[in-house]
Amino acid sequence: MTLRRKLTWMITLIVVLILVTNMIVVRYEYSRTLADSFERRMNTIGTTVGLMVLPALVVSGGDIDERLADVNAVLRKTVESQDDILEISVFDQKWAPLISYPPACMFDSNDNQIERVVPLKLTAEGRDYGYIKVNFNLTRYLKDQRDILLRQVSVGVIFSLIGLIAAWLVASTITKPLEHLRDTANDFGKKNFKARTSINSNDEIGMLAGTFNDMASKIENQIAVITQLQEWGRIISSELARDKVIQIVVEAFIEMGNVSKMSLMLWNESTECLEIVGGVGLRQDAASFLKLKIGEGVAGKVMATGKPIKVDKLKDSSEYKSFSGEHRAKESLFALPLIAKGRCFGVVNLHEKNDGSSFDEEDESALTTLAEISSVAFENSRLYDLAITDGLTRLFIARYFHQRMEEEIIRTKRTGTPLSLLMADIDHFKDINDTYGHQVGDAVLVMLSRIFRRVFREIDIPCRYGGEEFTVILPNTDKQGSVIVAERMRKAVEDFTFTTSAGKLHVTISMGLSTYKLGRSKDEMINESDAAMYNSKRSGRNRVTHFLDVTEKTL
């Protein structure tokens, strides 16, 4: 049963109970009033008749013959003057009949009558000398009572109908907004997160509706945030390359934090400082300008404690210093740690939101979750780097080289862009190991790998192919371009002084190049580069040779 029906029946029942109670009370009051009336009239009759018969009753004990005519006249007058009196009878103290009017033969007994008796006494506390019995006709009173009850019933029916209608209207007034609220809640439960109630009354239902709308808005916002986090989590986790992870993480914090100024700082083991690796809204020289030790500045404190720090007004902060030394009046900061396996390895600094407000608890919760997702992505990237890079030189390993060569050849076939492959070998590296030891040889390999990373572009893929042999995949590079970049690398190595534990050394490398032609396979390009490199070795070392130049002369 609905609440509306319950309220309707409840109100109707109350109205009916009131009407029934009123009828019972009216009937009771009418009966009580009638009984009181009979009692007063009996006292009056007893007094009137008693004045005439009491002296004879007291003296003779029952002989009232001398007064019989007078008593009969009084009785007749009383009966005839009051149409509800059927009979009046006088009895002696032993209930022997003395006189009655009308005579018994003229009186018809029926059910619609009532008898009342009053004793004949000299005093209120004295003995009874006789009795007067009066038979009252109740027909008129019963009719009056029926008429009253009929009117009560009629009024009750009318008021019941009115009460039923009123109950329905009242119930509708109360339950209609509740039903609307119920329907809205059901709609919301069916994932229509835009559902809101339009109730705006100032009563308890209005307050309940307002609370529901506030709750629905918060849930909708939380679901939107969770959806955003899930989407960014999917995007971030799909990347393993560190540079791509950095780029995506920055984009995610810009969107989730609703900011136009932020920085991503990662811990550099070699410099033992937090360094900016990505961000937006920063000075161009920010990355080279800002390097923080543990405990230095807001970010350094976050790095030291592994706990987020929120600064509502940077202008009042003695710990944070901007590059320009100035802050907007309301600029705020929220710095979050990046933690993996219990170790803090970076900090995300988010500046004032685009709407000028500070970061609230909901922002902090969402951004903290995003920081956790980002931390996992960076850790996965680190593990991936360990899996695909050489532990000594930090260049890519041979397995990764073969994988990327296949991918680059497919891309070249699809786009038609050029692709070249460089293969390099350190000249006389065996002599270095034999003369100075493998530690010096390893130091040479490490320093040479740094030159590789410095000389080649970000899109180039330098790899340690094995021992002292290296390869570099050169996307978007034709024959002429590959020769130029290889010569630049050869010259950089030739001019570099390798400072080792054995002293200063000078090292040279020999290189071979090949450029993709339609139909060539990965292995064919590797063989061509290898052949060109050994041609450089045979030609005196410390030189660059392209495979096409070799084939034009002699292989």
pLDDT tens readout for residues 500-532: 998 999 999 999 999 999 889 999 999 999 999
CA-CA distances (angstroms) from residue 123 to 47, 50, 54, 71, 536? 11, 12, 11, 21, 160
Q: According to the model, what pLDDT value does residue 461 have?
A: 95
Q: Is the pLDDT of residue 61 over 80?
A: no
- The segment(s) of the chain belonging to CATH 3.30.70.270 are 398-553
Half-sphere exposure of 98 (CA within 13 A, CB side): 30
Amino acid at 66: E
Rounded mean pLDDT, 306-319? 76
- The segment(s) of the chain belonging to CATH 3.30.450.20 are 3-143
Tell me which residues are annotated as active site: 468
Is residue 91 a contact partner of residue 98, using CB atoms and an 8 Å limit? yes
Rounded mean pLDDT, 23-41? 81
Is residue 262 a contact partner of residue 350, using CB atoms and an 8 Å limit? yes
**Portion of the chain with pLDDT greater than 70, in percent:** 88
Q: Is the pLDDT of residue 358 over 70?
A: yes
Of 312 and 467, the structure prediction assigns the larger pLDDT to 467
Half-sphere exposure of 254 (CA within 13 A, CB side): 15
Q: Is the pLDDT of residue 551 over 70?
A: no
Rounded mean pLDDT, 478-485? 96
Amino acid at 462: P
| Range from 54-63, 247-256, 324-333 carrying the lowest mean pLDDT | 324-333
The CATH code for residues 234-386 is 3.30.450.40
Q: Which CATH architecture has domain 398-553?
A: 2-Layer Sandwich (3.30)
Residue 354: band (very low, low, confident or very high) from pLDDT cuts 50, 70, 90: confident
Helical packing angle, 398-415 and 522-538, nearest 10°: 110
DSSP-derived secondary structure letter, 310: E
Sign of CA dihedral 248, 249, 252, 257: negative
The domain defined by 3-143 folds into Beta-Lactamase (3.30.450)
Give how far the C-alpha of residue 46 lies from the chain's centroid of Cα atoms, to the nearest Å: 89
User: What's the 3-state SS for 339-388?
Assistant: EECCEEEEEEEEECECCCCCCCHHHHHHHHHHHHHHHHHHHHHHHHHHHH
Burial class (CB in 10 A: 0-12, 13-18, 19+), 43: exposed
- The segment(s) of the chain belonging to CATH 3.30.450.40 are 234-386
Residue 155: band (very low, low, confident or very high) from pLDDT cuts 50, 70, 90: confident
Name the nearest CA neighbour of 426 among 400, 446, 407.
446
